[in-house]
Amino acid sequence: MPGKTTFVLGGARSGKSVFAEQLVEQSGLDAVYIATGQAYDDEMRERIAAHKQRRGLVWTTVEEPLDLIGALRSHAGEGRAVLVDCLTLWLTNLMMAERDIAAEIARLAAAIPELSGAVLFVSNEVGLGIVPDNRMARAFRDHAGRLNQAVAAAANQVYFIAAGLPLKMKG
Amino acid sequence: MPGKTTFVLGGARSGKSVFAEQLVEQSGLDAVYIATGQAYDDEMRERIAAHKQRRGLVWTTVEEPLDLIGALRSHAGEGRAVLVDCLTLWLTNLMMAERDIAAEIARLAAAIPELSGAVLFVSNEVGLGIVPDNRMARAFRDHAGRLNQAVAAAANQVYFIAAGLPLKMKG
Amino acid sequence: MPGKTTFVLGGARSGKSVFAEQLVEQSGLDAVYIATGQAYDDEMRERIAAHKQRRGLVWTTVEEPLDLIGALRSHAGEGRAVLVDCLTLWLTNLMMAERDIAAEIARLAAAIPELSGAVLFVSNEVGLGIVPDNRMARAFRDHAGRLNQAVAAAANQVYFIAAGLPLKMKG
């Protein structure tokens, strides 16, 4: 594990989760997976199942849709690598629960430097297409951009993933 | 200010405007901000206000929705850094005014090398999502891609911004 | 031609086709263009015509909407550079023809290392916008991401193109 906090940003089906999982596996640390996705529908259930299968049995899996900061504080620690997959699903859950997004982003950014051990965040870049028609999608896009900026600023290493390949942006 | 013309490309909420503003502030040059955005609705008004607040008081602000080339010729000059934010809003305005987009892009590309002082252009990358359903959005996407290519070709330095971090693509 | 298989990934109107064409022209090899796009509508016809015009007369052009692997086996060879433009249109055609996409991707990935001469693939990155509303567009996005990952893994060189400028991601 080269740095303490690693941020892996990429598009849909870019290979970002696999890349982050490989970083954890190469670290030799005890692996904890914090899944922020809830099994809302069959499509999501399939994705979570595929992720579980790929990660194999040596991982501890935690499902935490909303209290990500609490889950990080409980599970991060020396000798462990905690992988959060992903921040954009956490954001979706926060918006559905009508939380104060700016406050949640600020809390997460403040919590990151206090966590011990290795922590990896996976997130989607969603701001590189045409402006969405509906206001909710625009709000999501704005929040996601701010969340990604905040975590990238707090991270020691940042990778942008496209077609399964990493571009190092920081660290 | 390392080069004469700088092009800053990024997604929505990628931190591209802040990055460009920091380049200007670090340059020590007299700062001019050319806002191409018109305050069409509350959402836009809020964004322009946030931009103004962030830039502080030492900037000269010019609002020019259509005659960007004229504004550049009037304001660019030795000892000054002119920041255009952003090209995709200018393109939106040109399309609404039913201008000849290819001709406007060609005029801008021809004007850039003749400007003196430092000039910085901020623009959105909008071509990395799914093909939009409606023809107008597809036309916008095509024009934006061509505009970005033309300005990148004319620029001395090009940065791609994601999550607030720059990737240098040229210069 | 620096490597054997080159993958050029980029957004709409990013300049990816021109970049790939320039690699072929600089190679001095006999140039073959495999067009996967079918002239479905006027918009597409215009694009194919513009591509043909830009490529000039020294290229051999092959139109192959579905049997890309067969076309590659027929046309790739020592002394030749075969440019496939583009993989995402091939994917569209496969989905319209209700083919087994995972199987087609696996067949292409297996075929690539057996081709001789230089082969270049152009493809669109479509996963960096907001999640599309309709299931078909989400399926396309997922397939495109997996296809791009598979070809990037099989390629010797990978470039990401934005605003006409290349970022080398592999090779």
Q: CA triplet A61, A169, A107: central angle to 5 degrees?
A: 50
Please say if the pLDDT value at position C2 is more than 90: no
Which pLDDT belongs to residue B43? 61
Structure tokens at A118: 């290795």
Summary mean pLDDT of chain C: 91
- DSSP for A61-101 reads EEE-SS-HHHHHHHH--TTEEEEEE-HHHHHHHHHHTT--H
Give domain limits for chain C: 5-170
Mean pLDDT over residues B72-83, rounded?
96
Parallel, antiparallel, or unpaired: how do β-strands B60-63 and B30-35 relate? parallel
What is the value of ipTM here, to two decimals?
0.90
Which pLDDT belongs to residue A61? 87
* CB–CB contact C130 A132 (8 Å): yes
- Cα distance from A169 to chain B (closest Cα, Å)? 7
Which pLDDT belongs to residue B22? 92
Please say if the pLDDT value at position A150 is more than 60: yes
* CB–CB contact C149 A132 (8 Å): no
Which chains would you list as touching C if contact means 3+ CB atom pairs under 8 Å?
Answer: A, B
Structure tokens at C102: 């995972």
- DSSP for C49-92 reads HHHHHHH-SSSEEEE-SS-HHHHHHHH--TTEEEEEE-HHHHHH
Please say if the pLDDT value at position C90 is more than 50: yes
Tell me the pLDDT tens digit for each residue of A1-59: 434 999 999 999 999 999 999 999 899 899 999 999 876 566 656 766 776 677 665 78
Which residue is it, tokens 């001019």? B32
Which pLDDT belongs to residue A2? 39
Residue in B9, B125, B130, B141 to test binding to C, most C beta-carbons within 10 Å:
B130
Residue B162 backbone dihedrals phi, psi, to 5 degrees: -140, 135
Of C125, C141, C165, Cβ closest to residue B152:
C165
Where are the alpha helices (H) located in chain C, listed in sequence order?
Answer: 16-27, 42-55, 68-75, 87-96, 101-111, 135-154
| Amino acid, single-letter form, for residue C104 | E
Mean pLDDT over residues C101-124, rounded?
97
Summary mean pLDDT of chain B: 91
Which pLDDT belongs to residue C1? 40
**C73 falls in which pLDDT band (50, 70, 90)?**
very high
- Cα distance from B7 to chain A (closest Cα, Å)? 17
d(CA B150, CA C18): 13
Q: Which residues of chain C are within 8 Å of residue A132 when distances are taken between CB atoms?
A: 129-130
Please say if the pLDDT value at position A133 is more than 70: yes
Percent over 90 (pLDDT), chain C: 80
Tell me the pLDDT tens digit for each residue of C13-70: 999 999 999 999 899 899 999 999 876 566 656 766 776 676 665 788 899 999 999 9
Of B13, B140, B165, Cβ closest to residue A127:
B13
Check the CA dihedral A48-A49-A54-A59 and report its sign.
positive
Using alpha carbons, select from B136, C90, B162, C119 the residue that is nearest to residue A161: B162
Does C2 or C43 have the greater pLDDT score? Answer: C43
C51 as an active site residue: the answer is yes
Residue B77 backbone dihedrals phi, psi, to 5 degrees: 175, 165
Tell me the pLDDT tens digit for each residue of A83-125: 999 999 999 999 999 999 999 999 999 999 999 999 999 999 9
Residue B158 host element (H or E)? strand B157-162
- Other Cβ atoms within 10 Å of A171 Cβ, number: 14
Which pLDDT belongs to residue A50? 73
Second CATH level (architecture) for the domain B5-170: 3-Layer(aba) Sandwich (3.40)
| Amino acid, single-letter form, for residue A4 | K
Residue C93 backbone dihedrals phi, psi, to 5 degrees: -65, -40
Q: Does A153 touch chain B (CB under 8 A)?
A: yes
Tell me the pLDDT tens digit for each residue of B130-157: 999 899 999 999 999 999 999 999 999 9
Does B15 or B48 have the greater pLDDT score? Answer: B15
Task: Return binding residues of A for GTP.
Answer: 10-17, 35-37, 52-55, 63, 85
Chain A, nearest residue to B140 by Cα: A130
Which pLDDT belongs to residue C86? 94
- Other Cβ atoms within 10 Å of B50 Cβ, number: 11
Which pLDDT belongs to residue C110? 96
Its pTM stands at 0.92
**B50 falls in which pLDDT band (50, 70, 90)?**
confident
A64-68, B143-147, C53-57, C158-162 — which is least confidently predicted?
Answer: C53-57
Which pLDDT belongs to residue B61? 87
